[in-house]
Amino acid sequence: MVSDDFSLKLIKWYKLNKRNLPWRESKNPYKIWISEIILQQTKVDQGLPYYLKFIQKFPNVHELAKANENIVLKLWQGLGYYSRARNLHYSSKYISKHLNGQFPKNYNELIKLKGVGKYTASAVASFAFNEKKAVLDGNVFRVLSRYFGIEEPIDTTSGNKIFENIAYINLPNKNVDTYNQSIMEFGALQCKPVNPKCKTCPFENKCFAFNNNKILSLPIKSKKIIKKERFFNFIILRNEKFIFLEKRIKNDIWKNMYQFPLFEEPIKSFYPPKDLIKTSILSKKTEFTHLLTHQKLNVVFWDFEIKKLFQNKKYEKIEIKKLNEYAVPKIVENYINQNISIHR
């Protein structure tokens, strides 16, 4: 499946319609790497402010490597998929220490970095070094499947091989970086998942999906995401000056971030342990549901006012005015912003 004018039309469309984004103005592999990691599972509008903050705080790989992990996670706070931030930090330390700050310059070396898969390695290799590598993200899968009529599921091994082959054979011999940017941008702005702009599409006449009324059925996924249901009881223990936090250390969501003491038990049958709240009064109880990609969290915040401070080796007693210095999950951040006065 090779289309002689496919790449030419894409690049022409891109030059007329592309968004001006800071990482596109640079050939610096560090900046491109940061942008690509941020944009995994994240839309450009949401990721752009984080990119700007990251580059301002950590202008090069050495600065990122020197940073405390809590500062990195704090800067990432609200973006989700926090393993991306931990992997960025880990790889920056590896590049700084073991590669003397010299960023890997080809796909085979890039893919060795923690948190870098085929897509990210291909993107950085092509955008920074113009290596002939095809990128395959959600936007590219959608464009290729609709235009060429590929009905093999994108989430299968056989499907991936088909898409990789078609993506590669349609790469131009020159300007690979521009072509890859073009097809990704085309999928994001023109060939969108819902309400694609088919009437102004330069490929309308040759598009398989348009001509066969299969626009919304392509690409195909074989697997349906099953969300695991969990029950989170957060116990807030505070007085006017102090509050208790704990660090998540298990290999789970939000690893190495801070939270209020947590008891993961069914909400209907749960009540905070008496030895923990014996000197406290329940002032507020807040319940809601929080959806992640693969999990459904049933959450309760039990907000207790402490009458007498106590010591607990499991939890950290911190000053409320310093609460914003700690990286916390989005649901905890939202509760803090809405219910706890930090500036006292």
3-state secondary structure 163-183: HHHHHHHCCCCCCHHHHHHHH
3-state secondary structure the chain: CCCCCHHHHHHHHHHHHCCCCHHHHCCCHHHHHHHHHHCCCCCHHHHHHHHHHHHHHCCCHHHHHHCCHHHHHHHHCCCCCCHHHHHHHHHHHHHHHHCCCCCCCCHHHHCCCCCCCHHHHHHHHHHHHCCCCCCCCHHHHHHHHHHHCCCCCCCCHHHHHHHHHHHHHCCCCCCHHHHHHHHHHHHHHCCCCCCCCHHHCCCHHHCHHHHCCCHHHCCCCCCCCCCEEEEEEEEEEECCCEEEEEECCCCCCCCCCEECCEECCCHHHCCCCHHHHCCEEEEEEEEEEEECCCEEEEEEEEEEEECCCCCCCCCEEEEHHHHHHCCCCHHHHHHHHHHCCCCC
Q: State how far the Cα of 252 lies from the Cα of 230, in Å rounded to an integer.
A: 12
* Residues known to be catalytic: 36
